[in-house]
Amino acid sequence: MPYDLENRLVIGVASSAVFDLSESDAVFRSQGEQHYRKFQEENLTTPLPKGIAFSFVRRLLSLNDLSTDPENDPLVEVVLLSRNDPDTGLRVMKTIEHYGLGITRAIFMQGRSPYEFIPALNIALFLSANKEDVDAAIKARYPAGQVLDSTIVDDEQDNSLRIAFDFDGVLAGDESEAVMQSQGLTNFHAHEVKNVMQPHNPGPLQEFLVRMGKIQAAEEQRKKADPSYENRFRVSIVTARNAPSH
């Protein structure tokens, strides 16, 4: 029986988003592929440092405890999409095991961009530190985002997850924003009044938000069954012209 991803929130992450590969990348760029392979082999049991998206992935996967059958029917599925080949990717898999991340599926592309698997795996969001891969995915009209270098704060005792979405061009299409940018505020208001009964076209992350909503519903059900349960998941929608909504 095929593995069903239809009713899950599926996130595709590149190894460069979850782990800090700067040292490995420096070896590859300065010494070439053979030395890179040797470096990974020699450090096979040394876990890679946490990357910028590590905390997000860990907290997202922690929401699977809301499922009635988390092992066979998780709410969230995270799939690793890597440019590495399976041999050099072995260190990544051992690192996943070391940190206890619930990632059991990985695709190693041997140097090719992995974004082509987004529709096949029903992925609602693809995250990578590789700008070229993200740009290629967006150009193909797939939901993707680039993770940027930042200070990593990961309190392992904290499983709360807060996500903020921009509205224009993210959850909804950017038609209104285009009018604002090209024709100014007055014409933007006229455009909005004229189309007030017309729903916005969907943006690239609308499906991601819809699937997030299913997780919020599961959390509300848990709250009803156990009044002592404290909600861990919050979604905010913000625009440049409106106050945040929840």
pLDDT of residue 244: 44
Q: Are 82 and 107 in contact (CB under 8 A)?
A: yes
Rounded Cα gap, residues 215 and 220, in angstroms: 9
User: What are the structure tokens assigned to 46, written together?
Assistant: 């040394």
Give the 3-state secondary structure of residue 132: helix
Distance, C-alpha 113 to centroid of its chain: 16
Q: Are 10 and 79 in contact (CB under 8 A)?
A: yes
In CATH, the number for domain 9-146 is 3.40.50.1000
40 close to 6: Cβ distance less than 8 angstroms: no
Maximum CA pair distance of the chain?
65
* Cβ atoms of residues 150 and 50 within 8 Å: no
Give the pLDDT score at 19: 93
Task: Please enumerate in sequence order all residues whose Cβ is within 8 A of that of 12, keeping only pairs 6 or more positions apart, or say none.
Answer: 78, 79, 80, 81, 114, 117, 118, 121, 123, 125, 126, 127
| Residue boundaries of the structural domains of the chain | 9-146, 161-238
Tokens of 78: 């995270």
Q: Give, for all 246 residues of the chain, the pLDDT tens digit.
A: 345 677 789 999 999 899 998 898 899 889 988 898 899 999 999 999 999 999 999 999 999 988 888 777 889 999 999 888 777 789 999 999 999 999 988 988 877 878 888 888 899 999 998 899 999 998 888 988 898 877 666 777 777 888 877 766 566 556 556 556 676 667 666 656 665 556 555 567 788 888 888 888 999 999 999 999 888 888 777 665 544 444
Q: What is the pLDDT of residue 93?
A: 93
What stretch of H or E contains 193?
Answer: helix 175-194
